[in-house]
Amino acid sequence: MITVIRRYEITVSDADVRMARAIENYILAYDGENLLHDIEITFPGASYRAFFLAWGRSRDPLRWIKPDGAA
């Protein structure tokens, strides 16, 4: 049996990283009923990439930590 592990790495702009961190903090502190709708209203200029990064980090934060301790 052959196991294939695929790893993907994407490059993002500093603006996307800042936006992703802001969205991530919003997600973690969210206490409403319609998260996606409220994110769209709160962060109207967010790219899909920033949203994807924030969503992924908030759901599985340990996956995003690099071996050198950076995240």
- Distance CA(46)–CA(24), nearest Å, equals 12
| Contact of 42 with 22, CB cutoff 8 Å | no
- Distance CA(29)–CA(19), nearest Å, equals 15
At 41, is the pLDDT very low, low, confident or very high (cuts 50, 70, 90)? very high
The domains of the chain are located at: 14-64
What is the average per-residue pLDDT within 19-26? 90
Cα 25 to its chain centre, rounded Å, is 10
Q: Examine the pLDDT at 42 and tell me if it is beyond 90.
A: yes
Task: Tell me the pTM.
Answer: 0.67
Token digits for 42?
A: 């709160």
Would you mind telling me the total number of residues written for the chain in this entry?
Answer: 71
Q: How confident is the model at residue 55, as a pLDDT?
A: 84
Cα 49 to its chain centre, rounded Å, is 8
Q: How confident is the model at residue 58, as a pLDDT?
A: 80
Q: How confident is the model at residue 56, as a pLDDT?
A: 81
